Amino acid sequence: MKWKLPDDSTAPVITAEEHVKSRHIKKESCMLPETCVIFEIGMALKFVEANFKTITLLETLPCFLEGYECISIEGHEGVCFTRGGYGAPAAVDTLETVRALGVKRVIVVGMCGGFSDSINVCNVLIPHKILCEEGTSFHYFDNIEFVEPDRSLYNKGRAYFSNAFEVLTDDAVTSDAFYRQTYAKEAKWREKGCVAVDMESSALLSVSKYYSIPAVSILLCSDKHPLSENDVKWDWGNLGFKETREEFVRQSVNFALQL
C-alpha cells in the first residue's frame, strides 16, 4: 500500500488544530494536560467517575467524528482521561484532537482477542511491537510493518502491571476487519509472532510516532479465539472477566497517575 505520497510536502486540508476551532464545533475547548489515557473500553470513564474524585475538563472532546468526555482526577491535574473512538480512524481522530489541545504523552488502554496457546482471558498484554493491518497508519507512513511503543513507557507498564496481573509482552496485530479473522489469517499472524488482535493500537502508536509523542498500548485479553475449527467455539470473556476488567481500569488509572 503506497497511499502516502513519498514526496508530499503539502499541508493537510483539515488539521485537528483548525478543526477544534471551526464551526463544526459547538463549544469552545480548553487546553489539556500533557498526559492522556485513551480508553478503548466502553465502561472505563463511567467506572473512573464512580471510583475516583473526578473533574470534567470537557463534556465532549471536539473530535471530527464522535467525541467523548475528557476528565481528570482531583490532585492529579497533569493527567487526563478520555474514551477513544472504536477502530483505527476514529481512534486516531481522538489522538489528533487531544494532541491539538496540548497532549504530549499517550497511554492506550484497551482490550484484545488472544489467538495463541500462550495467552488467556484476563492476561494483560503490553506488546513489544504491533503489526499494522489497518489502513490509517499508511496515510502517515509510506512504509511501515510493525510499530513499537515508547521504550520507557513500555518498561514502566511491564513493571507496574506485573504486580496485579499476568503480563505478556509478545507482539500483537491491529486489524480493521474483525469478521475476517479467519483461522488461516490468525495462523499467519502467529507465524509472525503475534498472539492477539485489537482494532486501534498500531494506528495510535504509529500516529504518535509521526508526531514524536511517547505512547504505549496496554491491553486486557477479553476473549480467547479457537485456534482451529475443531476447538471450542469463540465466546467473549469468562466468569470473572467483569471484575477483572474493572480492576484493570483501576490499575490503569493508578499507573498513569504515578508516572
Ligand X SMILES: O=P(O)(O)O[C@H]1O[C@H](CO)[C@@H](O)[C@H]1O
Ligand Y SMILES: O=c1cc[nH]c(=O)[nH]1
Site for ligand Y, rule CB under 6 A: 111-113, 178, 197-199, 222-223
Rank residues 3 and 178 by Cβ distance to ligand Y and give the closer one.
Answer: 178
Q: Which of ligand Y, ligand X, none does residue 41 bind (CB under 5 to 8 Å by kind)?
A: ligand X
Compare residues 78 and 240 and give the one whose CB is closer to ligand Y: 240
Q: Which of residues 28-87 bind ligand X (CB under 6 A)?
A: 41-42, 86
Residue 42 interacts, among ligand Y, ligand X, none and using kind-specific CB cut-offs from 5 to 8 Å, with: ligand X
Q: Choose the contact partner of 223 out of ligand Y, ligand X, none; CB within 5 to 8 A by kind.
A: ligand Y
Q: Answer whether 63's CB lies under 8 Å from 97's CB.
A: yes
Task: List the single partner that 12 binds among ligand Y, ligand X, none, CB under 5 to 8 Å by kind.
Answer: none
Q: Which residue is nearest to ligand Y (CB)?
A: 113
Find the shortest distance in angstroms from Cβ 70 to ligand Y. Answer: 23
Told to check if 218 binds ligand X by CB under 6 A, we report: no
Find cell 472532546 and name the residue. 61
Q: Can residue 240 be called a binding residue for ligand X (CB under 6 A)?
A: no
125 binds ligand X, rule: CB under 6 A: no
In angstroms, give the least distance from the CB of 209 to ligand Y.
Answer: 21
Which entry of ligand X, ligand Y, none binds 220, CB below 5 to 8 A by partner kind? none
Nearer to ligand Y, 62 or 87 (CB): 87
Q: What is the DSSP string of the chain?
A: ---S-TT--SPPSS-HHHHTTSTT-SS------SEEEEE-STTHHHHHHHHS-EEEEESS---SS----EEEETTEEEEEEEEPPSSHHHHHHHHHHHHHTT--EEEEEEEEEE-STT--TT-EE--S-EEEESSGGGGT-SS-SEE---HHHHHHHHHHHTTTS-EE--EEEEES-GGG--HHHHHHHHHTTEEEEESSHHHHHHHHHHTT--EEEEEEEEEE--SSTTSPPP----TTHHHHHHHHHHHHHHHHHH-
Q: Which residues are CB-neighbours of 211 under 8 A, at least 6 positions away? A: 99
Shortest Cβ 232–ligand X spacing (Å)? 20
171 binds, among ligand X, ligand Y, none (CB under 5 to 8 A by kind): none
Cell, residue 106: 499517550
Closest contact distance (angstroms) between CB of 12 and ligand Y is: 28
- Asked if residue 111 binds ligand X (CB under 6 A), the reply is yes
Site residues (vs ligand X, CB under 6 A): 41-42, 86, 111
